[in-house]
């Protein structure tokens, strides 16, 4: 009888350790999703390449990225356009830029592009 009680206690302890281990592993895996992890450097480079290869996009003023899920990335960028562009041409530029971005980075599910007139020269890539 004592042996059976000891065996049950050991089994309970093993189960508890297993559950705690699984909880720790899951917490470390999903922590980045809970705090809104930004895109990987190669993903940021793909965003830059896609946007800057779009005719009408002079440069990227600001860029922010955030994972919304394992396969879902939010991209928000302020892009510089020419002061002489019309509203229709800016809208067309944004449509093309979004299409190129989604083709280069299929996980970019939510894309916000804000056009602005370029008021200063590009110092280089911004992230």
Asked whether residue 49 carries a pLDDT value surpassing 80, the answer given is: yes
Average model confidence (pLDDT) across the chain:
88
Under the banding of pLDDT at 50, 70 and 90, the label for residue 71 is: confident
Mean pLDDT over residues 49-72, rounded? 92
Q: What is the DSSP string of the chain?
A: -HHHHHHHHHHHHHHHHHHHHHHHHHHHHHHHHHTTPPPPHHHHHHHHHHHHTSTT--EEEEEEEEEEETTEEEEEEEEEE-TT--HHHHHHHHHHHHHHHHHH-TTEEEEEEEEEE--S---S---
- The reported pLDDT for the residue numbered 3 is 84
């Amino acid at each position: 009888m004592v042996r059976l009680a000891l065996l049950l206690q050991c089994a309970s302890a093993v189960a508890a350790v297993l559950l705690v281990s699984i909880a720790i592993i899951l917490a470390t895996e999903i922590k980045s999703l809970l705090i809104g992890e930004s895109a990987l450097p190669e993903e940021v480079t793909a965003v830059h390449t896609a946007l800057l290869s779009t005719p009408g996009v002079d440069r990227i003023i600001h860029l922010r990225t955030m994972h919304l899920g394992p396969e879902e990335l939010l991209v928000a960028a302020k892009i510089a356009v020419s002061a002489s562009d019309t509203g229709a041409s800016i809208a067309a530029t944004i449509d093309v830029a979004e299409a190129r971005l989604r083709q280069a980075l299929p996980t970019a599910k939510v894309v916000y592009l804000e056009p602005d007139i370029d008021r200063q020269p590009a110092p280089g890539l911004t992230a």
